[in-house]
Amino acid sequence: MNPNLESSFFSSMIFFAGILVFVAMLFYIFPPKRMNYLYGYRMPSAMKSPERWQFAQRYSAIAMLKCGILLAAISVLGLFYSYSEKVDRIAAFAIIFIAVVLLFVRIEREIKKLP
């Protein structure tokens, strides 16, 4: 079976995975030093205290990196299993949406465990 590099599923998933990995590395290497409204993980739960802010920045960067790697791994399926372009694109965006929602839920759950 020859890989289909033109698969909409593969290209959408690998593009988003790459963005997630890039942003995660950026946040991990250059975390925001102070609370701000422009850069970093800026949900209200993370902005309740400086300790929560610092934890949220590090935890969200690591969680985004893991999510990006997982999405990149899932994207490989698109190389070998392809349907119509419309179905591939809908499947990719559905998986991306679910991954992002679960990412936020996971981060928020960990932040709320803090005192």
Please answer whether residues 103 and 63 qualify as being in contact, where contact means their C-beta atoms are separated by less than 8 angstroms.
yes
Note if the pTM is more than 0.75: yes
Query: Other CB atoms closer than 10 Å to residue 87's CB: what's the count?
Result: 12
pLDDT recorded at residue 91 = 95
Using alpha carbons, list the distances in angstroms from residue 31 to 22, 34, 101, 105: 13, 9, 22, 21
Alpha helices by DSSP H, listed for 5-112, are 8-29, 50-75, 77-80, 85-112
pLDDT recorded at residue 81 = 86
Q: Give yes or no for residue 95 having a pLDDT over 90.
A: yes
pLDDT recorded at residue 33 = 85
* Domain chopping of the chain, boundaries: 8-112
Q: Give yes or no for residue 52 having a pLDDT over 90.
A: yes
User: Rounded to whole angstroms, how far apart are CA atoms 27 and 40?
Assistant: 7
